[in-house]
Amino acid sequence: SQQGEEDPQALSIQEGENATMNCSYKTSINNLQWYRQNSGRGLVHLILIRSNEREKHSGRLRVTLDTSKKSSSLLITASRAADTASYFCATDPGGGNKLTFGTGTQLKVEL
């Protein structure tokens, strides 16, 4: 069954604005990861947050995790046109690296 579910399904913003995507999941997790996919290409790992962490930063990315609400958010600050892509959260319930992905948020950053 689907573990992660992203919200919104699609997001369109202007360059320079911040983009926030949310992910909800159903069962307890070992860690949660965010990936990015450019149209029709493979996924690229962005950031991993462990179940005992609440916030993590990487460059213009900020991820939060609330295990009590079973949710995570990805914030991209000062967005650029090159950030246009689909963003997926993936959960690892059992710690064995068998990831379950959501349906993704399609982000479009316009000039």
Partner 1 sequence: ETGVTQTPRHLVMGMTNKKSLKCEQHLGHNAMYWYKQSAKKPLELMFVYSLEERVENNSVPSRFSPECPNSSHLFLHLHTLQPEDSALYLCASSQDMKGRDTQYFGPGTRLTVL
CB of residue 98 vs partner 1: minimum separation in angstroms?
Answer: 6
| 3-class secondary structure per residue, 21-72 | EEEEECCCCCEEEEEEECCCCCEEEEEEEECCCCEEEECCEEEEEECCCCEE
98 sits in which H/E element: none
CA–CA gap between residue 92 and residue 31 (Å, rounded): 6
CB of 38 to partner 1, least distance (A): 10
Interface pattern 51-90 for partner 1 (x via CB under 8 A): -------------------------------------x-x
**Residue 101 is a binding residue for partner 1 (CB under 8 A):** yes
* Segment contacting partner 1 by CB under 8 A, of 13-21, 58-66, 69-77, 94-102: 94-102
Interface with partner 1 in residues 9-48 (CB under 8 A): 30-31, 33, 35, 40-45, 48
Q: Which of 42, 53, 52, 57 is nearest to 101 (CA)?
A: 42
CA angle 88, 72, 52 (to 5 degrees): 120
Residues that bind partner 1 (CB under 8 A): 2, 4, 30-31, 33, 35, 40-45, 48, 50, 88, 90, 92, 94-104
